[in-house]
Copies of this chain bind each other. A is one copy, B any other.
Amino acid sequence: MKRPRTLRIELASAQPVYEQIVSGLRALLVSGEFESGEQLPTVRQLAIDLGVHHNTVAEAYRVLAEEGWLDLRRRRGAVVLDRRDPKATPEAKQDFRKHLEELIAKAITNGVPRSAIADRMVEMARKLGQGGTR
């Protein structure tokens, strides 16, 4: 069964469109929405779907390819890779901690109840614990 793989872009956002595409696709890739070997849409096709220029999508694909998520070749398109061997960046853990704190601070500022924040994080932690290694 094919899942929807919703990917929505906000042109009005301060965050660059290509970064939104990267973040959105990366989240789908991590959650296992795509099987390895699977074809992603061509840069031109996804560009049409999202209403942006194909070079903008190409930039996003390039970032994901550098991260090891995609194999990107002319005429072949973007193919999802297996990627079971992430090269552990040393400061990545500390980075995650900092950004998590900042994200929580932002949510509190926006009025999200602390209990809701805590619940969501526990839920996500549980998912990570169960989830396969992939």
Please tell me which stretch of A36-44, A54-62, A88-96 contacts chain B, meaning at least 4 of its Cβ atoms lie within 8 angstroms of it.
A88-96
What is the distance, in angstroms, from A17's C-beta to the closest C-beta of chain B? 15
Size category of the A interface is: 35 or more
Q: Beyond A122-B122, A128-B118, A131-B114, is A27–B102 a contact (Cβ under 8 Å)?
A: yes
Which DSSP category, helix, strand, loop or mixed, fits chain A's interface? helix
Is the Cβ of A104 less than 8 Å from the Cβ of B124? Answer: yes
Identical subunits present: 2
What B residues does A86 contact at CB under 8 A?
108-111
Known: A23-B105, A96-B116. 11 other contacts (CB 8 A): A26-B106, A27-B104, A30-B108, A31-B105, A86-B109, A95-B107, A96-B112, A97-B120, A100-B120, A101-B124, A118-B128
